[in-house]
Amino acid sequence: ELKVEQNPLFLSMQEGKNYTIYCNYSTTSDRLYWYRQDPGKSLESLFVLLSNGAVKQEGRLMASLDTKARLSTLHITAAVHDLSATYFCAVEGNEKLTFGTGTRLTIIP
């Protein structure tokens, strides 16, 4: 059974700082997704990573995938308050997505 773990579960950081969220998964997969969720809202797709070594960037967020290490990272650069949300990684396998537990990110002014 595929297991997906994220850390940290909670992250409180000051504006302007950099930090990384980690996503580890237990079985081979070449497809990994990052989503953002605001309180009470649905999931917003951030990145789709489809191969080993894939790196994608959008604004202050950058995601990477290492399929050999079964690890993806979501790096936040110079955080701003608008990035406060819960971030989920999800790994595709057997026609379904298995989600991590989520990282609740709070950016403090």
Partner 1 sequence: ETGVTQSPTHLIKTRGQQVTLRCSSQSGHNTVSWYQQALGQGPQFIFQYYREEENGRGNFPPRFSGLQFPNYSSELNVNALELDDSALYLCASSLWDRVEQFFGPGTRLTVL
Chain contacts with partner 1 (rule: CB under 8 A): 4, 31, 33, 35, 40-45, 48, 50, 88, 90, 92, 94-102
Q: How far is the CB of 43 from partner 1 (least distance, A)?
A: 4
Q: How far is the CB of 26 from partner 1 (least distance, A)?
A: 15
Q: Which is nearer to partner 1, 16 or 53 (CB)?
A: 53
Inter-residue contact 101 to 11 (CB < 8 Å):
no
Q: How far is the CB of 30 from partner 1 (least distance, A)?
A: 10
Q: Which is nearer to partner 1, 77 or 102 (CB)?
A: 102
Q: How far is the CB of 24 from partner 1 (least distance, A)?
A: 14
**Token pair recorded at residue 81:** 């308050």
Q: Which is nearer to partner 1, 77 or 99 (CB)?
A: 99
